[in-house]
Amino acid sequence: MRSSYSSPTLVLNIERKYFADILAQPRRKKIEYRRMTAYWLRRLERVGPASFNLRLLNGMRPPVPEATIKIVKVVRSHASKELEFHLGRILDVRHWNRAKERPSR
């Protein structure tokens, strides 16, 4: 959890295509999905109910493109066995050029 945010923060890695879709102007992706497993349910339990921050990381080698987004609600879809993270306002973007939709160097 980052100390500069007042809300709890959940961190996850995401593929570049989906990362770009979330940060596109206008946004092409408004919901991030994760399988409803014991692992994700435990992590979700640690941050508590929405609203919390979601920190998305794209890659492992610095400088890693990253974005912090406010989660407005989480839906547990038992039919598809997925968690739906409904994305709200983008709070912070680092090492990513939103206009060109690629990492900034």
> Is residue 6 pLDDT above 80, yes or no?
no
Q: 8 near 61, Cβ under 8 Å?
A: no
Closest CA to 103 of 22, 25, 19: 19
Read off the pTM. Answer: 0.90
Q: Which of 16, 37, 30 is nearest to 85 (CA)?
A: 30
The pLDDT tens digits for 13-31 are 999 999 999 999 999 999 9
For the stretch 51-89, pLDDT in tens is 899 999 999 989 999 999 999 999 999 999 999 999 999
Q: Are 39 and 83 in contact (CB under 8 A)?
A: no
Give the pair of three-digit tokens for residue 97: 């050029």
Residues 24, 82, 15, 86, Cα dihedral to 10°:
20
Distance CA 105, CA 100 (A): 12
